[in-house]
Amino acid sequence: MKIFIDTANLDQIKKAHELGIVDGVTTNPTLMNKESGKSAEDIVLSIVNLVQGPVSVEVIGRTAEEMTKEARKWFAMNPEHIVIKIPMCTEGLKAISMLHEENIPCNCTLIFSVNQGLLAAKAGARYVSPFVGRLDDIGHDGMKLVEELVDCIDYYEFDTEIIAASIRHPLHAKQAALVGAHIATIPLQVIEKMIQHPLTKKGIEDFEKDWAEFKKTSK
């Protein structure tokens, strides 16, 4: 399973990138808003230059014409790595279809059902992003959606990858891997929790203590 980091904060991306586990980045208008004071173009280019992998940038237009116009501008900044994030809706599907014809990769976001994911894949989305945490918030099984989408996409051999999104805790990341998600996009704070385990911490402390005692007694 590939791991993307879900943020527009360059410092957080650098920390994750240094671990050698980041395959790409996802952003959205909310995450971009947290980096106010910088231009959107500067933020995106800084991320792309660091990660050298897929970087999802979301359009804010409401019509297919508006979305595709924005998409072409973003994509032109770095055709090798920029992916256009488009919300699931009627106009979004039209835009994805149009951009697919232009070989501009799209990430269809705000997916909450298999039907939505299937339609996005049919329209030509390179990625579809089911939101696990938000479904859990309203009493649904978000990870079950990921599992069903993986089965559907793989069965029909779509050239589409499932990005498990809205990951809230390490259990989500584990479950995404176990159900076969192609990608999980994960906030830095969750990645940091994935690293930790109390037995690992204790083991390191015990080894350090034993090594110190050995050094005292060895010649």
Query: What is the distance between the alpha carbons of residues 193 and 211, in angstroms, rounded to a whole number?
Result: 27
**171-200: b or e for each residue (b if 16 or more CB lie within 10 Å)?**
ebbebbeebbbbbbbbbbebbeebeeeeee
Is 216 in the active site?
no
Helix or strand run (H / E) with residue 151: helix 142-155
The catalytic residue among 15, 38, 85, 144 is 85
Residue 17 amino acid letter: H
Which helix (H) or strand (E) segment is 55 a member of? Answer: strand 55-58
Helix, strand, coil % (nearest 5) of the chain? 55, 15, 30
Q: Nearest CA to 58 among 18, 25, 90?
A: 25
Q: Is 211 exposed, middle or buried (0-12, 13-18, 19+ CB in 10 A)?
A: exposed
Could you give the residue numbers annotated as active site? 85
